[in-house]
Chain A
Amino acid sequence: MKKLTAVFLALMLILAGVSAMAETIVVMPKLVGIPYFNASETGAIEAGKELGIEVIYTGPTTGDAAQQVTMIEDLLIKGIDALAIAPNDPDAVSPALQKAIADNVLVVDWDTPASGDDVKYSIHQIDDKKFGELIWDKLVEAMGTDEGEYAIVTGYLTAANLNTWIKYGTEYAAAKYPNLKLVTDPVASDESAQEAYTQTLALLGAYPNLKGIVGISTPAPIGAAMAVQEKGLQDKVAVVGSSLPKDSSPYLKDGSLDFGILWDPGKLGKLTVYIAHYELNGTPITDGMEIPGVGPITLWEDGKTIIMGDPSVWTAENADQFDF
């Protein structure tokens, strides 16, 4: 019996040693169980396998900042090397992130920025400015003219990232396409395709000369496209916006949606794990560095902000190639 206990203890020690040696990187999305973050999970896990390290991908089931805080605290007790977080509320998670830093855990943010002081790197999918500008360029391309009225259907009026894109896009349009006229303030659709559909029907009634609609947030372009299709206005009203390719596919094909513009969330998950791994192992991260399966990245002069690359555009031809 004693012998057995000794063997058992020895085994435990070895196991403990092994798990202490292996590198553990936690990637925490805003929430789990939606196609976008499922795709980034696939990418993050894949990177873990390529690098031979442990990647834990976990997050709350709703976009709840308090739950993220609880999860971070549990993970700190478990012992981790790096935490990459997409915070639901930068201020709410800040104390938990500071605690992680005090525990010598590398903290970075991805997808959505945390407060600057809390992170070593801030990994962005795209340059928000370029993204906003590309959406408006595509709007003009789909309208076939840079003159006329258009409207914006957004997710929530309070969503910082959506507002940033709208701000860059409209500022850019005001300078480059002065004859493009935004008819009203962005209309909220509460991240719901049905609400976007309802609001777009009303917009089409209110502004009969409307030539284009920009949908910001992933369900908005879909709902807008449905309304345009129902009114048979595919050829008269252009719809572009930030949508997922799989959901967009039917609408791209029937012509009601002209372009979907987003990025590949799988690559973003992958990039996040690579950056954390390089930083933990002392590999310097530089501007233009090539990340396997992702491509060259941009490191801003602040030495902190990393941009994954240019946004992707979905069309009727390519939308079926993606599984998110």
Chain B
Amino acid sequence: MSNRVKQILKAREASIVIMLAVVMVVAFLMNNTFLSFENQMDVIKSNAVLGIAAMGMLVVILTGGIDISIGGQLALVTVLTGQLMKETGFDNLIVIYLLGIVIGGLIGLLNGLMISHLSLPPIIATLGMNTIINGFLKYYTNGAWINQLPQKIIDFGMIKLFSKPGEVGGQVGVPIQFILFLVAMILTWFMLRWTKLGRSIMAMGGNRVSAERVGLNNKNLTTFAYVFSGMMAGLAAITYTSIMKSVDPNAFIGYEMNVIGAVVLGGALLSGGSGSVLGTFLGVMMFAYISNGLTLARISTYWQSIIVGIIILLVVSFDMVKLHRETKRMTKVDIVPIGD
């Protein structure tokens, strides 16, 4: 194998890319509709919420933390902004988006402060937060859906760029939710790759002690990661409302598992310091394609969960074998005789 190929195969994303390619080819062979532009756009639209939330979760996981309250944050933002729009008829979408991002960011700030300054384990702090939010929502909404939202958000959710009438009906085009998902990815990628903040988060996630020694403020970095995650949850929440045209307060119960699952499938290590925007995007698409592709392939739902489980195990074992080999090679370095 040439060095170039080896290098590509060594990339963290390699295993997921290979699995994704397999899934796509199989789905396409079973049903050509899978690769149609219309189907691809449908898949992206209905998974944009997961994708945006996963970007925030990625940054938290990079610090070696975890955010169990992501579902609660999404639900809280959808309910509060939904209620505001319904009760007052307020429909300035830019303000609604900003408001959602601020609410999410504030919850993230609380999470971050509990974790960095009170030294609570992330899983406990965010689990507690999630329980509080869900309890509040239960009390506040009694589980009732919020309907009759302003026409503006409904119209906004239906926007499709470069659209033309579809073959069967409706409009085919690039959904606005895809653009929002792209924005979230570019922002996260830029922050992690090109800002000091992002580089510091990567460094801290890799090794906390060294990071502290070189003078990084771990507490502030940790807090920032949760605020960022909350803001992404806010963005995802309004995007959800734009797709669903109504708010179901119970829609996000258990959602954290999907978000964390997508990030981990995308190659991020829960121990921190390792993971990428590209990998996370692929993880989200993997989740989406498995479900969409298997249905299109006309495979019964009973088999779907079995296949999903096998794919997750394959991807993760591939990663683990690779990691194991790398570690082995690194240990070897120590026993190479001097002067060899």
- With contacts A35-B142, A61-B135, A61-B138 taken as known, whether A206 is within 8 angstroms of B33 at the C-beta atoms is yes
Q: Chain B interface: which of A1-9, A164-172, A181-189? A: A181-189
Distance in angstroms between the alpha carbons of A307 and B31 in the assembled complex: 46
Distance in angstroms between the alpha carbons of A317 and B251 in the assembled complex: 28
- Identify which of B42, B145, B291, B298 contacts A246 (C-beta below 8 A): B145
Q: Does B277 contact A (CB under 8 A)?
A: no
Q: Does A205 contact B (CB under 8 A)?
A: yes
Q: In the complex, what's the smallest C-beta–C-beta distance from B119 to chain A, in angstroms?
A: 30
Q: Chain B interface: which of A74-82, A109-117, A195-203, A296-304? A: A195-203
Centre residue among A205, A231, A250 by max chain B CB count within 10 A: A205
Q: In the complex, what's the smallest C-beta–C-beta distance from A148 to chain B, in angstroms?
A: 15
B168 adjacent to A233 (CB under 8 Å): yes
- Within 151-201 of A, Cβ neighbours of B (below 8 Å) are at 157, 183-188, 192-194, 197-199, 201
Q: Does A265 contact B (CB under 8 A)?
A: no
Distance in angstroms between the alpha carbons of A298 and B123 in the assembled complex: 52
B33 adjacent to A246 (CB under 8 Å): no
A203 adjacent to B295 (CB under 8 Å): yes
Distance in angstroms between the alpha carbons of A202 and B39 in the assembled complex: 8
Distance in angstroms between the alpha carbons of A204 and B31 in the assembled complex: 12
Q: In the complex, what's the smallest C-beta–C-beta distance from B155 to chain A, in angstroms?
A: 13
Q: Does A95 contact B (CB under 8 A)?
A: no
Distance in angstroms between the alpha carbons of A187 and B304 in the assembled complex: 10
- Within 252-283 of B, Cβ neighbours of A (below 8 Å) are at 253
- Identify which of A61, A185, A186, A208 contacts B168 (C-beta below 8 A): A208
- Identify which of A33, A187, A192, A246 contacts B301 (C-beta below 8 A): A187
B143 adjacent to A249 (CB under 8 Å): no
- Within 3-46 of B, Cβ neighbours of A (below 8 Å) are at 31, 33-34, 36, 38-39, 42, 46
Q: In the complex, what's the smallest C-beta–C-beta distance from A210 to chain B, in angstroms?
A: 10
Distance in angstroms between the alpha carbons of A207 and B244 in the assembled complex: 23
Centre residue among B42, B47, B49, B302 by max chain A CB count within 10 A: B42
B244 adjacent to A205 (CB under 8 Å): no
Q: Does A219 contact B (CB under 8 A)?
A: yes
A33 adjacent to B138 (CB under 8 Å): yes
Q: Does B169 contact A (CB under 8 A)?
A: yes
- With contacts A33-B142, A198-B292, A205-B296 taken as known, whether A233 is within 8 angstroms of B246 at the C-beta atoms is no
A206 adjacent to B296 (CB under 8 Å): yes
Centre residue among A157, A188, A202 by max chain B CB count within 10 A: A202
- Within 240-284 of A, Cβ neighbours of B (below 8 Å) are at 246-247, 249-250
B143 adjacent to A199 (CB under 8 Å): no
Which residues of A does B touch, CB under 8 Å? 33-35, 38, 61-62, 157, 183-188, 192-194, 197-199, 201-208, 219, 226, 230-233, 236, 246-247, 249-250
Which residues of B does A touch, CB under 8 Å? 31, 33-34, 36, 38-39, 42, 46-47, 49, 135, 138-139, 142-145, 147-148, 158, 166, 168-171, 240, 243-246, 248, 250-251, 253, 291-292, 295-298, 300-302
